[in-house]
Amino acid sequence: MADTYPWSWYSDPAVLAAERERIFRRAWHYVGHAGRLPEPSSYFACMTGGLPVVVTRDGGGELGAFLNVCRHRGSEIVAGAGRRETLQCPYHAWTYGLDGQLRSAPRAEREDGFDAAGLGLVALSLDRWGPFLFVGADPEAPPPSQLLAAARLPFDPAELVFRERIDYALGANWKVAVENYLECYHCPTAHPAFSRLVDVDPDAYVLEGDGPVWSQYGTARDGSGTCAFHLVWPALKINAYPGFANLSIGPVWPETTGRTTGFLDYFFGTDVDDAWARDLIAFDDQVGREDTTLVESVQRGVAAGLVERGRLLPESERLIASFQAKVTASLT
């Protein structure tokens, strides 16, 4: 058996500050789907990886992503989503094109040497996998479309249609939530309905990957298909259940050392019956509520402070060991 990293890492504010800077700030983050930008001259704003971001489709149909921060005094420029030709800061009306270039700044003509060309919005990297959009601040990080090229799904993700987003919050450290996701050792005990649907025997339930993508593959006991669960570094979940074409995708974000938030965007094939989709979302919600009980219990346990470390089973928890190794390498 292998040791975990110190349990103090789940409750130490200094560790969380380092994780935000060295892990999340340098990673790619899922921001939404292309359907949120259905036509030219549209945009949507969001927070991702701790950064305010605006994603645009300009008048020519080109996608772009920018830091949603005015170059003048730092105000966030836009909120929500919609159609518009320009992005105007509500503070002093500095106005940017959907290509990020500064178009106008009130009273700029009164200032000698004012150079609008050097004051455009800070561009971020943008990547696309099927209908899914990702934004990154580190141009050296490998893009998700490249990482997910080998991910096995029983359908083409480009054929999926967005249905709804569900937000959630957990009273646990983000690493506790991710590590719970990376193993099905707990499934027979904690997820009876899931274990009736999917064969979770260790000889049938397959674990693959050594990062930055970790994958789990299973087969429905009734022969209705396969399932796949992918974790993309550092904390993006991609889930596909047996049955008709379906996928949910969403990030995990550390609010505090003991609070994690996230969301899942649910997508289905165009021919999926509405009742089947609602039943699947309800089923996934039940699994999620069972996991919430588990991870919040773990958080209370590791925060007790009387045990230094835990142990990992080399086979059943090898994805956790790989994830913990990557966290450790990022922080040391």
Q: What is the pLDDT of residue 150?
A: 79
Does the structure show a pLDDT above 90 at 113? no
pLDDT in tens, 209-223: 999 999 999 999 999
Cα separation, 240 vs 249, whole angstroms:
9
Give the mean model confidence (pLDDT) for residues 175-190: 98
User: pLDDT for 30-70, tens place per residue?
Assistant: 999 999 999 999 999 999 988 999 999 999 999 999 999 99
**Measured CA distances, 246 to 166, 237, 239 (Å):** 15, 14, 8
Q: Is 141 a residue whose pLDDT tops 90? A: no
Is the confidence at residue 258, as pLDDT, over 90?
yes
Can you tell me the distance from the alpha carbon of 26 to that of 140, in angstroms, rounded to the nearest whole number?
Answer: 9
Classify burial at 120, counting beta carbons within 10 Å of its beta carbon; exposed 0-12, middle 13-18, buried 19 or more.
Answer: middle
Which residues sit opposite 123 in a β-bridge?
Answer: 66
Which of 242, 139, 236, 160 has the alpha carbon at shortest distance from 197?
Answer: 242
Averaged over 130-139, what is the pLDDT? 91
User: Would you place residue 25 in the very low, low, confident or very high pLDDT band (cuts 50, 70, 90)?
Assistant: very high
Q: Which of 272, 197, 203, 208 is nearest to 241 (CA)?
A: 197
| Paired tokens of 324 | 């913990």
Residue 151 has pLDDT above 90, yes or no: no
Handedness of CA 303, 306, 309, 313 (dihedral sign): negative
Check pLDDT > 90 for residue 137: no
Enumerate residues 6+ apart whose C-beta is below 8 A from 26.
137, 138, 141
Give the start-end residues of each E strand in the chain.
2-3, 28-33, 42-48, 51-57, 63-67, 81-83, 86-88, 95-97, 102-104, 125-129, 132-136, 160-170, 206-208, 213-219, 226-232, 236-240, 246-256, 259-269, 311-312
CA distance 88 to 69: 11
In the structure, what pLDDT confidence band is assigned to residue 139 with cuts at 50, 70 and 90?
confident
Band (pLDDT 50/70/90 cuts) for residue 202 is: very high
Phi, psi of 7 (to 5 degrees): -65, -20
- Check residue 114 and give its pLDDT: 92
Report which of residues 151 and 131 the model is more confident about: 131
Domains and CATH numbers, the chain: 28-136 (2.102.10.10), 150-331 (3.90.380.10)
φ/ψ of residue 211, rounded to 5: 85, 155
Query: Both tokens of residue 251?
Result: 């990030």
Least confident range of 61-75, 146-160, 172-186? 146-160
Question: 174-181 and 274-302 are packed helices; what angle lies between their axes, rounded to 10 degrees?
Answer: 120
Report phi then psi at 234, rounded to 5.
-90, -20
Q: Contact at 8 Å (CB) between 239 and 288?
A: no
**Spatial separation of the C-alpha atoms in residues 175 and 181, rounded to whole Å:** 10
For residue 177, what pLDDT band results from cuts at 50, 70 and 90? very high
Q: What is the pTM of this model?
A: 0.94
Average pLDDT, the chain: 96
